[in-house]
Amino acid sequence: RLLDWERRFDMICRNEPVDDMDRALAMYIQRNDDLELSPFVDMISGMKEDTVQNRTISNMAELDEYAYQVAGTVGLMLLPLLNANVEQSRDAAIALGKAIQLINILRDASPDVALGRVYLPQDMLKAEGVSTEDVLQLKSSPEYRKVVAAVADRAESLLMEAEMGKSTLPGVGPLFVQIIVELYREYLIKLEQIGYDNLNLSGERVKIKTIQKLMASFKAATKVLTQQ
Protein backbone atom coordinates (compact mmCIF):
# COMPACT_ATOMS: atom_id res chain seq x y z
CA ARG A 1 0.00 0.00 0.00
CA LEU A 2 2.84 2.41 0.82
CA LEU A 3 4.38 1.71 -2.56
CA ASP A 4 1.05 2.63 -4.13
CA TRP A 5 0.94 5.89 -2.16
CA GLU A 6 4.48 6.65 -3.27
CA ARG A 7 3.56 6.02 -6.90
CA ARG A 8 0.46 8.18 -6.63
CA PHE A 9 2.40 11.01 -5.02
CA ASP A 10 4.88 10.92 -7.88
CA MET A 11 1.91 11.26 -10.24
CA ILE A 12 0.54 14.16 -8.19
CA CYS A 13 3.89 15.92 -8.52
CA ARG A 14 3.61 15.47 -12.30
CA ASN A 15 0.06 16.89 -12.10
CA GLU A 16 -1.42 13.54 -13.07
CA PRO A 17 -3.80 12.76 -10.15
CA VAL A 18 -5.74 9.52 -10.34
CA ASP A 19 -8.83 10.49 -8.31
CA ASP A 20 -10.56 13.41 -6.58
CA MET A 21 -8.53 13.08 -3.38
CA ASP A 22 -5.25 13.18 -5.30
CA ARG A 23 -6.58 16.05 -7.40
CA ALA A 24 -7.35 18.06 -4.25
CA LEU A 25 -3.81 17.49 -2.94
CA ALA A 26 -2.34 18.46 -6.29
CA MET A 27 -4.32 21.72 -6.21
CA TYR A 28 -3.21 22.38 -2.62
CA ILE A 29 0.44 21.99 -3.61
CA GLN A 30 0.05 24.16 -6.71
CA ARG A 31 -1.66 26.96 -4.77
CA ASN A 32 1.05 27.13 -2.10
CA ASP A 33 4.40 27.95 -3.66
CA ASP A 34 6.16 27.92 -0.29
CA LEU A 35 5.01 24.36 0.47
CA GLU A 36 7.92 22.01 -0.05
CA LEU A 37 7.46 18.50 -1.39
CA SER A 38 10.07 17.05 0.95
CA PRO A 39 7.70 16.66 3.97
CA PHE A 40 5.48 14.33 1.91
CA VAL A 41 8.47 12.27 0.80
CA ASP A 42 9.88 12.19 4.33
CA MET A 43 6.55 11.02 5.78
CA ILE A 44 6.39 8.10 3.36
CA SER A 45 9.97 7.17 4.31
CA GLY A 46 9.05 7.17 8.00
CA MET A 47 6.00 5.01 7.39
CA LYS A 48 8.13 2.54 5.45
CA GLU A 49 10.35 2.14 8.51
CA ASP A 50 7.34 0.96 10.50
CA THR A 51 6.75 -1.95 8.11
CA VAL A 52 9.86 -3.69 9.47
CA GLN A 53 9.15 -6.55 11.85
CA ASN A 54 10.39 -6.15 15.44
CA ARG A 55 10.84 -2.40 14.93
CA THR A 56 13.47 -0.75 17.15
CA ILE A 57 15.22 2.62 17.33
CA SER A 58 19.01 2.82 17.75
CA ASN A 59 19.42 6.14 19.54
CA MET A 60 17.81 9.48 20.34
CA ALA A 61 18.98 11.00 17.06
CA GLU A 62 17.16 8.27 15.14
CA LEU A 63 14.08 8.70 17.32
CA ASP A 64 14.14 12.45 16.66
CA GLU A 65 14.38 11.82 12.91
CA TYR A 66 11.53 9.32 13.00
CA ALA A 67 9.37 11.75 14.99
CA TYR A 68 10.05 14.39 12.34
CA GLN A 69 9.21 12.01 9.49
CA VAL A 70 5.83 10.87 10.78
CA ALA A 71 4.67 13.98 12.66
CA GLY A 72 6.94 16.99 12.20
CA THR A 73 6.14 16.76 8.51
CA VAL A 74 2.44 17.19 9.29
CA GLY A 75 3.22 20.48 10.99
CA LEU A 76 4.93 21.72 7.85
CA MET A 77 2.04 20.58 5.66
CA LEU A 78 -0.47 22.50 7.79
CA LEU A 79 1.34 25.85 7.74
CA PRO A 80 -0.19 27.04 4.43
CA LEU A 81 -3.67 26.20 5.76
CA LEU A 82 -2.96 28.51 8.69
CA ASN A 83 -1.74 31.26 6.33
CA ALA A 84 1.58 31.17 8.12
CA ASN A 85 4.95 32.34 6.91
CA VAL A 86 6.49 28.91 6.35
CA GLU A 87 10.06 30.10 6.84
CA GLN A 88 9.29 31.84 10.15
CA SER A 89 7.06 29.07 11.55
CA ARG A 90 9.00 26.06 10.27
CA ASP A 91 11.02 25.21 13.40
CA ALA A 92 8.07 25.57 15.79
CA ALA A 93 5.83 23.47 13.55
CA ILE A 94 8.40 20.68 13.40
CA ALA A 95 8.99 20.86 17.16
CA LEU A 96 5.27 20.53 17.90
CA GLY A 97 4.86 17.55 15.59
CA LYS A 98 7.91 15.81 17.05
CA ALA A 99 6.72 16.43 20.62
CA ILE A 100 3.32 14.94 19.83
CA GLN A 101 4.93 11.85 18.34
CA LEU A 102 7.34 11.30 21.24
CA ILE A 103 4.52 11.61 23.76
CA ASN A 104 2.32 9.25 21.77
CA ILE A 105 5.19 6.76 21.71
CA LEU A 106 5.34 6.94 25.51
CA ARG A 107 1.57 6.63 25.77
CA ASP A 108 1.43 3.67 23.37
CA ALA A 109 4.29 1.59 24.79
CA SER A 110 2.06 -1.36 25.69
CA PRO A 111 0.10 -1.49 22.41
CA ASP A 112 3.38 -1.17 20.50
CA VAL A 113 4.89 -4.05 22.46
CA ALA A 114 1.94 -6.18 21.37
CA LEU A 115 3.03 -5.43 17.78
CA GLY A 116 6.67 -6.26 18.54
CA ARG A 117 7.75 -2.62 18.43
CA VAL A 118 10.04 -0.85 20.91
CA TYR A 119 10.56 2.82 20.12
CA LEU A 120 12.71 3.75 23.10
CA PRO A 121 16.36 4.26 22.04
CA GLN A 122 18.26 0.99 22.25
CA ASP A 123 21.49 2.64 23.38
CA MET A 124 19.75 4.29 26.32
CA LEU A 125 18.06 1.04 27.32
CA LYS A 126 21.35 -0.85 27.05
CA ALA A 127 23.13 1.77 29.16
CA GLU A 128 20.57 1.09 31.92
CA GLY A 129 20.90 -2.68 31.58
CA VAL A 130 17.48 -3.10 29.96
CA SER A 131 17.10 -5.46 27.00
CA THR A 132 14.55 -5.36 24.22
CA GLU A 133 13.26 -8.69 25.48
CA ASP A 134 12.65 -7.14 28.91
CA VAL A 135 10.44 -4.50 27.31
CA LEU A 136 8.62 -7.03 25.15
CA GLN A 137 7.87 -8.98 28.34
CA LEU A 138 6.46 -5.77 29.91
CA LYS A 139 9.12 -5.65 32.63
CA SER A 140 8.92 -2.11 33.97
CA SER A 141 12.04 -1.76 36.10
CA PRO A 142 13.37 1.47 37.66
CA GLU A 143 16.03 1.45 34.95
CA TYR A 144 13.41 1.19 32.20
CA ARG A 145 11.39 4.02 33.73
CA LYS A 146 14.52 6.18 33.79
CA VAL A 147 14.70 5.92 30.00
CA VAL A 148 11.00 6.78 29.70
CA ALA A 149 11.62 9.87 31.85
CA ALA A 150 14.52 10.94 29.63
CA VAL A 151 12.38 10.74 26.49
CA ALA A 152 9.61 12.62 28.32
CA ASP A 153 12.12 15.39 29.10
CA ARG A 154 13.00 15.60 25.41
CA ALA A 155 9.30 15.87 24.56
CA GLU A 156 8.83 18.69 27.09
CA SER A 157 11.74 20.64 25.59
CA LEU A 158 10.07 20.34 22.16
CA LEU A 159 6.74 21.52 23.59
CA MET A 160 8.51 24.55 25.01
CA GLU A 161 10.10 25.28 21.62
CA ALA A 162 6.70 25.08 19.92
CA GLU A 163 5.14 27.26 22.62
CA MET A 164 7.80 29.94 22.18
CA GLY A 165 7.35 29.91 18.39
CA LYS A 166 3.56 30.08 18.31
CA SER A 167 3.58 33.87 17.89
CA THR A 168 4.84 33.41 14.32
CA LEU A 169 1.36 32.15 13.40
CA PRO A 170 -1.45 34.54 12.40
CA GLY A 171 -5.05 34.59 13.63
CA VAL A 172 -6.07 31.71 15.87
CA GLY A 173 -2.80 29.89 15.19
CA PRO A 174 -1.25 30.70 18.59
CA LEU A 175 -4.35 29.42 20.40
CA PHE A 176 -4.37 26.27 18.28
CA VAL A 177 -0.74 25.57 19.20
CA GLN A 178 -1.17 26.40 22.89
CA ILE A 179 -4.14 24.05 23.23
CA ILE A 180 -2.10 21.18 21.77
CA VAL A 181 0.86 22.05 23.99
CA GLU A 182 -1.23 22.10 27.16
CA LEU A 183 -3.07 18.92 26.23
CA TYR A 184 0.08 16.94 25.58
CA ARG A 185 1.75 18.42 28.64
CA GLU A 186 -1.06 16.80 30.64
CA TYR A 187 0.04 13.42 29.28
CA LEU A 188 3.57 14.12 30.48
CA ILE A 189 2.20 15.03 33.91
CA LYS A 190 0.23 11.76 33.94
CA LEU A 191 3.36 9.80 33.03
CA GLU A 192 5.23 11.45 35.88
CA GLN A 193 2.38 10.69 38.29
CA ILE A 194 2.51 6.97 37.48
CA GLY A 195 6.28 6.93 37.91
CA TYR A 196 6.89 6.63 34.14
CA ASP A 197 5.53 3.08 34.27
CA ASN A 198 3.89 2.97 30.83
CA LEU A 199 3.88 -0.82 30.47
CA ASN A 200 0.77 -2.70 31.54
CA LEU A 201 -0.63 -6.19 30.99
CA SER A 202 -3.94 -4.83 29.70
CA GLY A 203 -2.17 -3.41 26.67
CA GLU A 204 -3.87 -0.03 27.09
CA ARG A 205 -2.28 3.32 26.29
CA VAL A 206 -1.72 6.00 28.93
CA LYS A 207 -4.84 8.18 29.14
CA ILE A 208 -6.07 11.35 30.84
CA LYS A 209 -9.61 12.23 31.87
CA THR A 210 -11.96 14.44 29.87
CA ILE A 211 -11.90 17.08 32.60
CA GLN A 212 -8.13 17.30 32.25
CA LYS A 213 -8.51 17.87 28.52
CA LEU A 214 -11.04 20.63 29.14
CA MET A 215 -8.83 22.25 31.76
CA ALA A 216 -5.88 22.12 29.37
CA SER A 217 -7.92 23.99 26.75
CA PHE A 218 -8.99 26.57 29.34
CA LYS A 219 -5.40 27.04 30.48
CA ALA A 220 -4.29 27.49 26.87
CA ALA A 221 -6.94 30.13 26.17
CA THR A 222 -6.02 31.99 29.36
CA LYS A 223 -2.33 32.02 28.47
CA VAL A 224 -2.90 33.27 24.94
CA LEU A 225 -5.32 36.00 26.04
CA THR A 226 -3.02 37.28 28.78
CA GLN A 227 -0.08 37.38 26.37
CA GLN A 228 -1.91 39.58 23.86
Residue 76 confidence (pLDDT): 94
Where residue 169 falls (left for φ over 0; alpha for ψ -120 to 50; beta otherwise) is beta
Residue type, 10: D
Residue 51 confidence (pLDDT): 87
3-state secondary structure (DSSP) of residue 15: coil
Alpha-carbon separation of residue 76 from 130, 148, 215, 216 (angstroms): 36, 27, 28, 24
pLDDT tens for each residue of 70-100? 999 999 999 988 899 989 999 999 999 999 9
Fill in the DSSP letter of residue 101: H
Neighbours of 125 (CB within 10 A): 21
Distance CA 158, CA 155 (A): 5
Beta strands in the chain (DSSP E): 56-57, 118-121
Neighbours of 103 (CB within 10 A): 25
Residue 92 confidence (pLDDT): 96
Stretches where the chain sits below pLDDT 70 are: 228
Q: Is 221 exposed, middle or buried (0-12, 13-18, 19+ CB in 10 A)?
A: middle
